[in-house]
Structure 1
Amino acid sequence: MTLRKIYTLYYSKKLKPSQIVHHKNGNKRDNRIENLQVILESDSWEWHNRIHKKMERQTGNWHGLKICTKCKTKNDEDFIYCKICGNELNKKTC
C-alpha cells in the first residue's frame, strides 16, 4: 500500500497532486501513521536534503549506518541482517 493510500484512508482526506507524504524520521519502512507527514512537492527536495545532511554529519553516510556487533561491518540503516555474516542488526542507528 502506498503512503498516500495509508494517509488518505486514516484521515479520510484526499490529497492534492502537489502534496507528498513523507516519513518524519526518514525511515522508509516505518509506516506508522504518526510517522507520516504531508509536505508540498516543491518543498520535497529541501526537506530530504536537510534530513540526509544531518544523517551524513552524524554517521558519515547519507542514509545512516548500523554496525554489526558480531563482525563490525557497516550496514545501511534499513538493513535488518548484516550483509556479511547474516547477524541480526541492532535497531539503533549508529
Structure 2
Amino acid sequence: MNKKRLKRIIGRIIGWILIIMGVIGTLFPVLHGVIFLLAGLLILSKTSPWAKALLTKLETRYPKVSKQMDKLRKHPKLRRILP
C-alpha cells in the first residue's frame, strides 16, 4: 500500500468520524455538532469534490462559518491534514 493512499484513507476515515460526531452533536447538547461537522468537511474537502463544493457554499453563505473554518485551518495539529 502506497503512503499517499494510506494517508488518504486515514483522512477519509477521520473526516467521516467527525461528521458522524457532528450529527450526533446536533442531537445532544453536550457535543458541539457544528464544529465537528466543519472539521469533518475540511478534512474530506481535500479528497472529495462534493465536500469542497459544500464547504465553499457554506463559506459564501455564512461568514461566521468561514471564520470558524479559518480557526480550524490555523490549528497547529490540523495543518497537515487540512487543505
TM-score for the superposition, normalised by structure 2: 0.31
Higher helix share: 2
Report which structure shows greater RCO (CA 8 Å, sep ≥6).
2
TM-score for the superposition, normalised by structure 1: 0.28
